[in-house]
Amino acid sequence: MNGKNRAYVIGHITVKDVDKWAQYRSRIPATLEPWGAELVFRGLRHSVLGGNHRHNNSVVISFPDADAIEDWFNSSGYQELIPLRMEAADVDLISYTADS
C-alpha cells in the first residue's frame, strides 16, 4: 500500500425515474474500473433509527484513496453521466477517508 488511507463515496439517493436510474446504474461500473474502485454496498433504507434522513436508497463505493475519488468524479466518463443522474434521481454524494 502507498501509505494513503482508503476512501469511500457514499451516495444517498431518491429515485425519480426508474428507467433512467437503471440506465445510469448500468453505466457506472465502467467509470469506476480505471480508478480501482469497488462497490461495497447498495441497498434500500429499512428504517431511520435516529435523526432525519430524506433518501430511501444508499450506495457505498470504496476507492484506493481520496485522490482516486477526485480523479473518478472529474473524469469525462463520469461527468458525462451527471445529467442522466440528475434526471433519474436526487443524489447526495459525500466522500470520506478512512480513519485508521
CATH of the domain at 38: 3.30.70.100
Average pLDDT over the chain, rounded to an integer: 94
* DSSP sequence for 58-75: EEEEEESSHHHHHHHHHS
Q: How many CB atoms lie within 10 A of CB 91?
A: 19
Residue 67 lies in a domain: yes
Residue 1 lies in a domain: no
Looking at residue 3, its pLDDT comes to: 58
Low-confidence residues of the chain, pLDDT below 70? Answer: 1-3, 100
Asked whether 90 and 14 are in contact (CB, 8 A), the reply is yes
Residue 78 lies in a domain: yes
Looking at residue 41, its pLDDT comes to: 95
Q: Cα dist. 53→9, 14, 47 in Å? A: 17, 11, 9
Vertex 52, ends 58 and 26: CA angle to 5°?
15
Q: How many domains does the chain have?
A: 1
Residue 51 lies in a domain: no
Looking at residue 1, its pLDDT comes to: 45
> Is the full-model pTM beyond 0.85?
yes
What range does the domain containing 41 cover? 7-46+57-97
